[in-house]
C-alpha cells in the first residue's frame, strides 16, 4: 500500500483517535493519515450491538493483553481485552454513555493544573459529539455524529433497583448527563436505531469519503521518528514490511492507555532506565511515561429473582426469535446493553464524594458453566469510583510485536480494598430493601457466600476482574513532571501530542468511552487552534 505523507499522522483509530482524524480532515486543506493496527469494523456483526461481544478474545480484533501477576490479587494474571480495529474499544464495549461528574473535571483544572479542562470547559465538547435521539434537552447535543439513546431493551426490575436505592438512602438522579452522578439512575447507550454507534460508525464512515483522509488498517506502529527535538513521522510494520510516513505538522499518539506509553518509550521518550534496559536511544527522559496506571477493579454479585431476565432468552428457539426481531425491527435481545442502571454511594457518611460505583446488569452468568445462567437473575458489578491504587506499563522489549507489560495493582491501596468490602455489604443491603426483597429468591454468587470481612477480602482478591477503564499512563498536568501539558503536547518534543484516555490525570468516576471521545474532540480543536496561530 502506498501511504502518502501528511500534515497530520494519527496513531490509533479508537475512541479518541477516530474523532481526531475526522475533525482534522474536515478542513480540506489538511492531509490526514490515520493508522490502525487492527482490521476494519464493517459488517453485520460489528453493527449489531451484541455482536461486539463476538469480537472479544478474537486475536484479530482484540489485543488480548495479559497482565503481570498482580500481588494485590494474590498474584493472579488476567487477560485484558482491548479493541483492535477501527473504533477500538467502542467497537466491542458495553455501549454505556456516561460523562462523569462535574467535580471530576473541576479537580483536573483546579487541583492538577490542567488549565482549560474544568466541567464548564469540557461540557461543550460532549455536546459537540452527541446526536441525542430523545426529546430536546439543554444537556444533550442534537447535531453531532455520535448517536446516544435510551436502551431499546428495558427490564422493569431496573426501576425497582433504583427504587431500592432510594429506600436505602440514595438520591434518584434526574439527569446524570448534567454532571451529577451522585445517586441512582438508568443509563443511556451509544446506539443508533438499534445499531452500535462505535466511533468507527459515527466519525469515520462519512469522513473516509474525503480525499484528504487516508485510513490504513493492519499498521502496527513501532515508533515516532524524532529529528532535532521534533516529531517528523511514524515508522510502522504493514504486512511485515517496515514503512515510514512523514508528518509535516504533527504526530498524534492515540494508542490508548495501554499502548500509547509503549509507543512513546520505543520512540525514546520515557524513563531513562527503562529505555536503557531495552537498548533504546533516549530522546527525552520523562520518568512518568507508563506510570500512574489506574483502573476500575470489578467485583460482581448475582441475585436470583422471581421473574425472567435476559439470560432466560438464550435457549435455541428464543435466540432464533430474538435474531429475527433484530434483523427485521432492530429490537430485542441483540440490542441489549450489559449495564442498564447505575448507582454511586458512600461507604462512609463523611465522604465528600461517592467512593463506590455500581453497574446493574439484567443478564446473569453461571460461573460454573461459563455461560448464561438457567435461573433468572440480576448482577451488580462494583468498582471503586476513583481508585487510589496505581500500576504501571513497561516494555517487554523494543520489538513492536511484543505487547507491553501491564502491572495493574488493581486493589493495591488499602483504602480501595476497604471501600470494596464495605460496598459489597451495601449491595446486599440494597437488595434487602422492600422494593427488591420481594423479588429476590437468593444470592447466587459469590458461592460460597462471604460472611466475614475476611471472607469478603478473599472473595474480592480471588474473583475480581478488570473494569476496562484504564487511564493516566501519559498524565496531563500543569507541572513539569507530567507527560503532556494541558494542550496535550508531549513535554520537550515539538509536533507531538497524546490524545486519548492515557492523558487523564485522575480517572473520572465513570466508564471512559464518552470522556475519551470528549478528549478527542477537545484535542482536535486545540490542534486546529494552534495551527492558526502565526509561528
Options 155, 296, 439, 469, the catalytic residue: 469
Taking the C-alpha atoms of residue 220 and residue 243, their distance in angstroms, rounded to an integer, is 10
Rounded-to-5 percentages of helix, strand, coil across the chain: 30, 25, 45
- Is the peptide bond preceding residue 448 cis, with omega within 30 degrees of 0? yes
DSSP E strands, 6-100: 6-11, 32-35, 65-66, 79-80, 96-97
Measure the CA–CA gap between 361 and 379, rounded to whole angstroms. 5
**How far is residue 279's CA from residue 298's CA, in Å, rounded to a whole number?**
37
* Pick from 48, 349, 343: nearest CA to 185: 343
Instruction: DSSP for 195-226, please give it.
Output: EE--HIIIIITTGGGSTTEEEE-SEEEEEEEE
Give the angle 113-114-115 at the CA atoms, nearest 5°: 95
CA 13 to chain centre: 14
Residue 393: count of CB within 10 angstroms of its CB:
28
The Cα–Cα gap between 347 and 194 comes to 37
Cα separation, 26 vs 6, in Å, equals 14
Task: For residue 451, give every residue at least 6 positions away whose Cβ sits within 8 Å of its Cβ, in sequence order, or none.
Answer: none
Q: What distance in Å separates the CA atoms of residue 105 and residue 97, rounded to the nearest whole number?
A: 17
Phi then psi for residue 123, to 5 deg, are: -55, -45
Q: Is 205 helix (H, G, I), strand (E, B) or coil?
A: coil
Under DSSP, is residue 17 helix (H, G, I), strand (E, B) or coil? helix
* Residue 413: active-site member: no
Dihedral of the CA atoms 438, 299, 418, 174 (nearest 10)? -60
Instruction: Say whether 88 sits in a helix, a strand or coil.
Output: helix
| Bridge-based pairing state of the strands 230-238 and 191-192 | unpaired
- Angle at the Cα of 325 from the Cα atoms of 323 and 328, rounded to 5 degrees: 105
d(CA 524, CA 522): 5
294 alpha-carbon distance from chain centroid = 12
Q: How many CA atoms lie within 13 A of 476 on its CB side?
A: 30
Positions annotated as catalytic residues are: 469
Amino acid at each position: 500500500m502506498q501511504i502518502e505523507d501528511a500534515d497530520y499522522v494519527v496513531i490509533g483509530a479508537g475512541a479518541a483517535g477516530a474523532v481526531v482524524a475526522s475533525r482534522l480532515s474536515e478542513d480540506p486543506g489538511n492531509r490526514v493519515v490515520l493508522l490502525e493496527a487492527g482490521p476494519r469494523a464493517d459488517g453485520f456483526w460489528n453493527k449489531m450491538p451484541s455482536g461486539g461481544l463476538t469480537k472479544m478474545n478474537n486475536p484479530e480484533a482484540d489485543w488480548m493483553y495479559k497482565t503481570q501477576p498482580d500481588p494485590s490479587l494474590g498474584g493472579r494474571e488476567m487477560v485484558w481485552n482491548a479493541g483492535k480495529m477501527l473504533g477500538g474499544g467502542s467497537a466491542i464495549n458495553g455501549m454505556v454513555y456516561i460523562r462523569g461528574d462535574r467535580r471530576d473535571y473541576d479537580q483536573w483544572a483546579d487541583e492538577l493544573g490542567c488549565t482549560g479542562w474544568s466541567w464548564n470547559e469540557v461540557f461543550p465538547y460532549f455536546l459537540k459529539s452527541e446526536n441525542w435521539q430523545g426529546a430536546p434537552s439543554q444537556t444533550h447535543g442534537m447535531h453531532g455524529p455520535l448517536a446516544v439513546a435510551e436502551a431499546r431493551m428495558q427490564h422493569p426490575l431496573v426501576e425497582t433497583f433504583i427504587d431500592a436505592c432510594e429506600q436505602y438512602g440514595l438520591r434518584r438522579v434526574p439527569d446524570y448527563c448534567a454532571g451529577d452522578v451522585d445517586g441512582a439512575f438508568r443509563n443511556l447507550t451509544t446506539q443508533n436505531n438499534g445499531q452500535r454507534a462505535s466511533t468507527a460508525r459515527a466519525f469515520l464512515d462519512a469522513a473516509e469519503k474525503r480525499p484528504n483522509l487516508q485510513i490504513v488498517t493492519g499498521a502496527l506502529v513501532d515508533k515516532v521518528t524524532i529529528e532535532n527535538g521534533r516529531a517528523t513521522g511514524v515508522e510502522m510494520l504493514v504486512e511485515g514490511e517496515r514503512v515510514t510516513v512523514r508528518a509535516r505538522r504533527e504526530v498524534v499518539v492515540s494508542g490508548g492507555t495501554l499502548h500509547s506509553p509503549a509507543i512513546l518509550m520505543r520512540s525514546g521518550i520515557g524513563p531513562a532506565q527503562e529505555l536503557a534496559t531495552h537498548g533504546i536511544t533516549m530522546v527525552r527522559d520523562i520518568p512518568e511515561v507508563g506510570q500512574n496506571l489506574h483502573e476500575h477493579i470489578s467485583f460482581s454479585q448475582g441475585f436470583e429473582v422471581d421473574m425472567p431476565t435476559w439470560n432466560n432468552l438464550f435457549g435455541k428457539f428464543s435466540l432464533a426469535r430474538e435474531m429475527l426481531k433484530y434483523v427485521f425491527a432492530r429490537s430485542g435481545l441483540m440490542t441489549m446493553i450489559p449495564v442498564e442502571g447505575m448507582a454511586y454511594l458512600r461507604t462512609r457518611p463523611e465522604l465528600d464524594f461517592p467512593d463506590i460505583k455500581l453497574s446493574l446488569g439484567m443478564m446473569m452468568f453461571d460461573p460454573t458453566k461459563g455461560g448464561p445462567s438457567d435461573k433468572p437473575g440480576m448482577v451488580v458489578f462494583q468498582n471503586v469510583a476513583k481508585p487510589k491504587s496505581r500500576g504501571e506499563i513497561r516494555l517487554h522489549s523494543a520489538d513492536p510485536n511484543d505487547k507491553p507489560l501491564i502491572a495493574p495493582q488493581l486493589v493495591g491501596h488499602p483504602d480501595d480494598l476497604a471501600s470494596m468490602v464495605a460496598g459489597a455489604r451495601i449491595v446486599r443491603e440494597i437488595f434487602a430493601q422492600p422494593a427488591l426483597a420481594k423479588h429476590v429468591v437468593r444470592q447466587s454468587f459469590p458461592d460460597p457466600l462471604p460472611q466475614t470481612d475476611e471472607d469478603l477480602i478473599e472473595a474480592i482478591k480471588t474473583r475480581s476482574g478488570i473494569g476496562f477503564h484504564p487511564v493516566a499512563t501519559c498524565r496531563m498536568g500543569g507541572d513539569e513532571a507530567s507527560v503532556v501539558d494541558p494542550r496535550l503536547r508531549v513535554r520537550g518534543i515539538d509536533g507531538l501530542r497524546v490524545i486519548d484516555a492515557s492523558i487523564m490525570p485522575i480517572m473520572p468516576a465513570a466508564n471512559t468511552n464518552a470522556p475519551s471521545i470528549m478528549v478527542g474532540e477537545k484535542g482536535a480543536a486545540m490542534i486546529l487552534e494552534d495551527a492558526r496561530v502565526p509561528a
